[in-house]
């Protein structure tokens, strides 16, 4: 498995904590709000995904909390950038 994209913040935090690299955060409109898709890569990706879906994933709570805050920050930054680009496109269309 070369890369995987997820929208779940907990799953993204688990992958980050497991040593995977966050390679992209893409925002998209979803039912009146903005959602984000996070793409990860790494050598342990397949193993981590297997553990996640087998419901056998485990992590140190304090380290997971730190990873969750980091992922949440990336998502927040991506959403701000997405909002700015949408406003910029709307203003450009009005000219």
Q: What pLDDT, in 10s, does the model give residues 49-73?
A: 999 999 999 999 999 999 999 999 9
**Angle, in degrees to the nearest 10, between helices 9-17 and 45-53:** 140
* pTM assigned to the model: 0.86
Helix ranges restricted to H, the chain? 9-17, 45-53, 61-94
DSSP single-letter state for residue 37: E
Residue 3: beta bridge partners?
Answer: 41
What residues are paired with 36 via a beta bridge? 27
The Cα–Cα gap between 49 and 45 comes to: 6
Which of these ranges, 7-11, 26-30, 68-72, 87-91, has the smallest mean pLDDT? 87-91
Between 87 and 4, residue with greater pLDDT: 4
Distance CA 71, CA 3 (A): 17
């Amino acid at each position: 498995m070369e890369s995987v994209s997820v929208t779940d913040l907990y799953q993204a935090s688990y992958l980050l904590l497991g040593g995977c690299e966050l390679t992209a955060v893409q925002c998209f409109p979803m039912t009146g709000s903005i959602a984000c898709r996070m793409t990860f890569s790494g050598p342990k990706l397949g193993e981590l995904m297997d553990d996640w879906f087998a419901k056998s994933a485990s992590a140190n709570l304090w380290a997971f909390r730190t990873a969750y805050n980091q992922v949440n920050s990336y998502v927040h930054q991506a959403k701000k950038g997405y909002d700015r680009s949408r406003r910029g496109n709307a203003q450009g269309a009005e000219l």
